[in-house]
Amino acid sequence: MNRKEFIYSSAIGLATLSVGTSYAKQKTKRIPKAKPQTATAPIGDIRAILLHLGNNMWCDYPTELMGAPAPESAESLSRKPEYNMIWTDEKWRAITGHAAEAGINMIVLDLGEGLFYPSHPELAIEGSWSVEKMRAEIKYLNELGIDVIPKLNFSTTHNGWMGDYSHMVSSKPYYRMCEDVIRDVVEIFGYPRFFHIGLDEERATFQDEGKYQYICARKGEYWWKDFLHIVREVEKHGARAWMWSDYGWSNEEFFERCPKSVIQQNWFYDESYGGFDVETNTTSDARIVKAYLKLEEAGFDQIPCGSNWVGWKRRQLGIGADDVIGKLVEFGRKNISKEHLMGFMIATWERHIEKEENFQKVIKGIDLLAEATK
């Protein structure tokens, strides 16, 4: 079945896939009510790992007259979308089981195209998880003691999962789609207490350097209008918005204008190898370290994020990045008050887990976070 046929069959309720999309509904129908999650990671001791169910947060989306594009239309793109799921059940259970054994108490699940949205079946790919499958996995993870938090990235750098809507940013159709999928997700996840909205790396220069061919980035009042709308939609459903803190690196007004209800996730991987001391770090990344202090001073709740992903300078020096999360935990506990330090997260940024090297990188990331936070 090609992608056009798959999307069409999903939209009219005929798709039946063994792993993922086993049911579809018309936009007018509601999702059956879910039971609230039973596992709750304690505030102050959140130990989270970011996992990516979808992979189209790093792609250009090819559009053919705003219709459903065939995979071959993406061949000319340097950042091609995925048209099949990247996870297998075996690898998923191996990673989540290891996380539970290591004491990880939260998974932040970057959904993208990996979940079937009843309001927008056209966003699915072959193998996207159905509502039933997602709810079954949440129940399974809760029984392991893991809190499951949804993430949808609304950054224009990471919105290929939106399909045609990624080319409609800030328009009325775009707003309606965002509202629809937020509602779908909170209903599927049983009205979670947190909802990660992404919003990292929204810079035209980043997209250009990253070889994106469709470049779109908001700033100023366009960014604020869209951002605050997303926050309001999340809060309308009873969840706290959770975001990457990038915008504050270059926009001082962020620390005043951003609602204090929004959980801040500043991320620092020390890729320039300048260290965690704001007095001695002379690299351009020093502003990122200082952002933790500014967020604390402004009164934001924080969940700092580290990684065992190796940045450019560390690759050049051949020193790896296994030390980063431990240093970040030490820095966070020293510089962020107990009142505002909610916990820590690690993002390994490995997505194609069928590759053994990537799988082991995620396993190692889990172990590093567990060791750092014990």
Beta bridge partners of 218: none
pLDDT score, position 66: 53
Q: Which domains occur in the chain, in start order?
A: 3-373 (3.20.20.80)
- Residue 258 sits at φ, ψ, to 5 deg, of -70, 130
At residue 126, the 3 state secondary structure works out as strand
For 170, counting Cβ atoms within 10 Å of its Cβ (0-12 exposed, 13-18 middle, 19+ buried), the class is: middle
For 216, counting Cβ atoms within 10 Å of its Cβ (0-12 exposed, 13-18 middle, 19+ buried), the class is: middle
DSSP letter assigned to residue 64: B
Segments of the chain with pLDDT less than 70: 1-30, 64-69
The H-or-E segment that residue 161 falls in is: none
For 275-328, the pLDDT digits (tens) are: 999 999 999 999 999 999 999 999 999 999 999 999 999 999 999 999 999 999
The H-or-E segment that residue 147 falls in is: strand 147-151
Give the pair of three-digit tokens for residue 314: 């560390």
Question: pTM of the entire structure?
Answer: 0.92
Give the pair of three-digit tokens for residue 107: 């998974």
pLDDT score, position 20: 37
At residue 132, the 3 state secondary structure works out as helix
B/e letters for 14-46, b = 16+ CB within 10 Å, e = fewer, are ebebeebbebbbeeeeebeebeebebebeeeeb
Largest separation between any pair of C-alpha atoms in the chain: 61
pLDDT score, position 29: 55
pLDDT score, position 7: 41
